[in-house]
Amino acid sequence: MPEPMVVKIMRAHKNAILAQEDSKMEEMARRWLQVEKKLKDDLQALALEAARMKGDGQVINKAVAMRIERAQKLLYQVRAETGRYVEWADGFISDYQALLAEQGLEHATDAIMAVMKEYDVRGTFDKLNVSAVESMIGLAGDGSPLKRYLGDVHSGAADGMLEALINGVAQGIHPTKIAEEMANGLGIGLQQAMNTARTESLRAYRNASLMQYDASGLVIGYKRISARDERTCAGCLFTDGQVFEDLSQFDEHNQGRCAAVPVLEGLPETQWQDPFDWFKAQDETTQESILGTGRFDAWKNGASLESMVKRVMDPTWGGAYVPTPVQELGN
């Protein structure tokens, strides 16, 4: 089945957004390297001291590591440097949210017009300007300031660093290598910051799109559409094509890449290839990548593809469609 114009347009927009996201993540990573650079000498010094302590017969666990004066000073430095990073990231992510929210309005307008054009419908509709989405900028999905969630960057970085130190000493690897692993451990903080950036910026994009759909006076619902690649999870793929009438809500997991195709009053729903047919047409490597090994084996042994997705509810983040846990597939 050839894809309709609105789907082609939305896929092109999504590809552009993902390329834009890659650039933003690279910028966050470059900034994080400054954190690691400032801590490099102290990481090496702590790794060397811990290795010497082990050589003297001491067991280095978390409690012991926390009592090392050099470790205490380093943790203080980690807090200071990650704190500066969080201050920067808060503004950076807020700006990124604003950009994607504005694009969400524009892309939703494009989608409505594409559906109208496909059915040769003429007319106008209300279009929101960027001021309509300003209230969501700088906030997480539950309405809390972004900085509240970015606060986890410090604890993640500190825990990752200490775990790498303890494991490296226990394995007896060279202090220089331990220091490198400690720097990698710090990177957990970066991953947490990136997760926040991706999740909250894409949320702003989807929410702005739904706001435009609602404001148009023409849209009565939306159909979910997934990225349909090897990175797409079963939860996203197997809700692809489902229709939802609530324009105030889009259930999505962290870093989810699904979007909403508008359903216009009085017009047929846009149709595209069934996700189950699409999945069955893929090679087994792609199928296993989407399902995960356990679910893939369960499917080969008779479990239905429809059973591979479930809706979950989080008290903070709300609803999301996710892959069904393997242990539940036999129930």
Written as tens digits, the pLDDT of the chain (331 aa) is 689 999 999 999 999 999 999 999 999 999 999 999 999 999 999 999 999 999 999 999 999 999 999 999 999 999 999 999 999 999 999 999 999 999 999 999 999 999 999 999 998 999 999 999 999 999 887 788 888 888 889 999 999 999 999 999 999 999 999 999 999 999 999 999 999 999 999 999 999 999 999 999 999 999 999 988 888 999 999 999 999 999 999 999 988 899 999 999 999 999 999 999 999 999 999 999 999 999 999 999 999 999 999 999 877 667 999 999 999 986 5
CA atoms within 13 Å, Cβ hemisphere of 31: 22
Which residue in 66, 76, 64, 67 sits closest to 39, CA to CA? 76
What the block records as the tokens of 139 is: 């906030």
Cβ pair 162, 185 in contact under 8 A: yes
Closest CA to 10 of 113, 133, 110, 101: 110
End-to-end CA gap in the chain: 35
Tokens of 239: 């809700």
- Give me the pLDDT at residue 92, please: 96
pLDDT, residue 331, reads: 54
Report the candidate in 140, 197, 120, 127 with the shortest Cα–Cα distance to residue 318.
Answer: 140
Q: Output the six-digit token pair for 327.
A: 């242990």
Residues 6+ apart with CB under 8 A from 28: 89, 92, 190, 193, 194, 197
* Among candidate residues 53, 81, 63, the one with its CA nearest the CA of residue 183: 81
Distance CA 72, CA 177 (A): 21
Q: Count CA atoms within 13 Å of residue 105 on its CB side.
A: 15
Instruction: Specify the 3-state DSSP secondary structure of 260.
Output: strand
Measured CA to CA, the distance from residue 51 to residue 174 in angstroms comes to 8
**Contact assessment for residue 187 and residue 78, using Cβ atoms and an 8 Å cutoff:** no
The predicted pLDDT at position 149 comes to: 82
DSSP secondary structure letters along 273-303: --HHHHHHTS-HHHHHHHH-HHHHHHHHTT-
CA geometry: angle at 210 spanning 209 and 214, to 5°? 120
